Amino acid sequence: MTQWWNRLDVMAEAEPIRGSLDSNGNVKAAYYTGSCRREDDMVQDVDVLVVARKDDRKQGIVDAVVNYASTNGYPYGGEADDTPWTVWLEMPSGCVVGIVIVGPDEEGGQSMWWTGSCSFNVKLRLRAWELDYTLDPNGLRDRTGTLVADTEDAIFTALGWTPVAPNERDR
């Protein structure tokens, strides 16, 4: 059975870890994505996108998350064998916080992808296909693989759409 939490409650619970990452010297930015960024009232988890200042700083960010989880007694796990690197930790409420760690050149596409929703991402990919592009978490590419757009606004523009605010993407 799926567990649901009040978005504001679990964001308040997750804020200390997000805030600690945002102030970490290896981090360019740390912000909520997924259903929290879309401002859904009830959520199944919390996603935090963490943008490293440089690709070689990702391990330092993983170490900071693991240290935070260990210090606070939170169960944790993850993968660091591909991009994006992910670490999850379980908060006292039982809600899982997914920490997604990307390099500075991956932020735009990853932010759009992780904000979603899944059905919205499908619409974007279908529109990209209509225009002979491909869209994945790393951005919009033409059929030769050349990057066409790698920020949310640039992707929307290249697809001929007006940018859609996260809280409007499922409406």
For residue range 26-38, list pLDDT tens digits in order. Answer: 999 999 999 999 9
Mean pLDDT of 41-64: 93
**Amino acid sitting at position 81:** D
Give 76: exposed, middle or buried? Use CB within 10 Å, 0-12, 13-18, 19+.
middle
β-pair type (139-142, 133-136): antiparallel
Task: For the chain, list the domains and their CATH numbers.
Answer: 5-107 (3.30.460.10), 117-162 (3.30.210.10)
Sign of torsion, CA 28 99 8 10?
negative
How much of the chain exceeds pLDDT 90, in percent? 78
